[in-house]
Amino acid sequence: MTEVAVFGYGTVGSGVVEVIEKNAEPIASRGEGLHVKYILDLRDFPGDPYADRVTHDADVIYGDPEIKVICETMGGATFAYDYTKRALSAGISVCTSNKELVELHGAELYRLAKENNCSYLFEASVGGGIPLIRTITQALTAERIERICGILNGTTNYILDRMEKAGLDFATALKEAQELGYAEKDPTADIDAHDPCRKIAILTSLVSGKKTDYSDIPMEGIRDISLNDLAYAWMLGGTVKLIAMSEFDKDGCRAIVSPRVIKRDNPLFAVNSVFNAVLIHSDMLDDSMYYGRGAGKLATASAVVGDAIECARNAGRTIECGWSEEKLVLADASGMKQSYLLRLKKSALPKLEERIAIEEKLEPTEEFLREHGLDPKDFADEMAVVSGEMSEKEWKEKIAGVDGVIRYIRM
Ligand code: NDP
Ligand code: HSE
């Protein structure tokens, strides 16, 4: 039996205890069993079945030689960072769902684990319960990964889905997501794309083996996405999703997080509600896709516990992920090639046609607008066009100075 401590008894931490207790039998059959000896939290939990295991004193846990694994589910990059360093320095393995800490200090903490013959595992930090980290660091190690493209934030996927399916505007869909407990009270990290940006930074680090700083990755959230944007995407047989992407080629790696028009033939089109999915393109396997619950108590906790089982099975050694502290210098994302859906005033079309080859012009009919419950007044003097493929640098040069450009969405 491996003794475990859970740091942070909130949504995920209480899920970790629940998974270990409820699935004690299958867990034990797969190696050594796990037992939660301590729960560290700031509060007491009177009436909770595990209230007697709660402590506020981390020293009690570090002073107990039986503790071999800590599940860090408290979040943040201050206390969690100190607690994790202290554990790894003492040879105690740490498993976490804390993407903020992993993005910021993951490479250093992994080195610390190696120096002390224990492990730092963070499967739950990207894609919640979807096994993505292990897929990249263990299953696809014979592959050259050329592209990762995915929906890595459940809250924004839910909001966009509700805008599409129920015709809600952004503010109403956000309020609904908050009421359902998907979006946080301060939803900035989700809707302004910091959260999926951290996640793609972690995946990019693991593919490149170098430290990728999320602040180097251009990101654009969904705050400004309107029903007008969605209407033109629908006319193309698509929708708009918040996509995190990184591409690896001879020029290095480019990464970006932004809303994109996703057409029906793209497998990500069918990823709805709070679900996450990641498409990986690699040279031998070609496309592979990973889909599931990217958040939520038990889905996320399952990934943390899966890591704890791996740590128990590999006691006294480090589970490798090949992540160095050398910084990855990203290539300029404006070199990425794609086509663009551009909304513009009708009066801007002649000028635009002088500058770019337009592949498709979109003007919704009254019937289309009525069918989708949209107000024709909102579309009175605007239209949209689809461009050919070009780099973003070239695209921006071409549309610069054209009066009447409303906004563009990458495709
Ligand atoms: P919660 O806020 O629900 O839980 C965190 C718990 O840790 C709270 O009980 C909190 O206490 C406690 N805590 C905070 N600081 C300390 C401290 N210094 N010492 C002891 N206890 C502390 O967060 P979640 O469970 O939702 O998230 C935990 C981590 O998992 C975060 O990094 C999050 O980003 C990540 N994550 C969450 C997912 C989800 O679906 N919820 C999915 C994937 C990842 P108090 O409430 O008193 O502050
Ligand atoms: N806020 C995140 C999301 C939680 O909505 O996907 C999981 O990391």
Domain's final residue, options 261, 292, 323: 292
State whether the beta carbon of 174 lies less than 6 angstroms from ligand 2. no
What average pLDDT does range 207-228 have in this prediction? 97
Q: Assign 31 to helix, strand or coil.
A: coil
On whether both 279 and 161 belong to a single domain, the answer is: yes
Count of structural domains, the chain: 3
Q: What is the pTM of this model?
A: 0.96
Would 323 be classed as within a structural domain? no
Residue appearing with tokens 């039998």: 25
CATH code (residue 391) = 3.30.70
pLDDT, tens digit (0-9, with 9 covering 90-100), for 19-53? 999 999 999 998 889 999 999 999 999 999 999 99
CB atoms within 10 A of CB 78: 9
pLDDT, tens digit (0-9, with 9 covering 90-100), for 50-80? 999 999 999 999 999 999 999 999 999 999 9
CATH code (residue 184) = 3.30.360.10
On whether both 249 and 270 belong to a single domain, the answer is: yes
Q: What is the extent of the structural domain holding 106?
A: 2-129+297-313
Ligand nearest to the CA of 100: 1
pLDDT, tens digit (0-9, with 9 covering 90-100), for 367-405? 999 999 999 999 999 999 999 999 999 999 999 989 999
Which residue(s) pair with 2 in the sheet? 34
Kindly give the number of the ligand 1 atom that is closest to the alpha carbon of 43. Answer: 47
On whether both 182 and 245 belong to a single domain, the answer is: yes
pLDDT of residue 180: 86
Task: Identify the band that residue 219 occupies on the pLDDT scale cut at 50, 70 and 90.
Answer: very high
Domain's final residue, options 231, 258, 292: 292
State whether the beta carbon of 103 lies less than 6 angstroms from ligand 2. no
Nearest CA to ligand 1 atom 4: 10
Give the Å distance between the CA of 74 and the centre of ligand 1. Answer: 4
CA angle, 278 as apex, 274 and 283 as ends, to 5°?
175
State whether the beta carbon of 190 lies less than 6 angstroms from ligand 2. yes
Catalytic residues: 199
Which residue(s) pair with 145 in the sheet? 282
Ligand 1 pocket test target in 40, 79, 97 with most atoms within 8 Å of CB: 97
Task: Identify the band that residue 206 occupies on the pLDDT scale cut at 50, 70 and 90.
Answer: very high
pLDDT of residue 185: 72
On whether both 148 and 276 belong to a single domain, the answer is: yes
- With 80 as the cut, is the pLDDT of residue 184 above it? no
Ligand nearest to the CA of 151: 2
Whether the CA torsion 185, 94, 35, 20 is positive or negative: it is positive
Q: Assign 4 to helix, strand or coil.
A: strand
CATH code (residue 67) = 3.40.50.720
Would 68 be classed as within a structural domain? yes
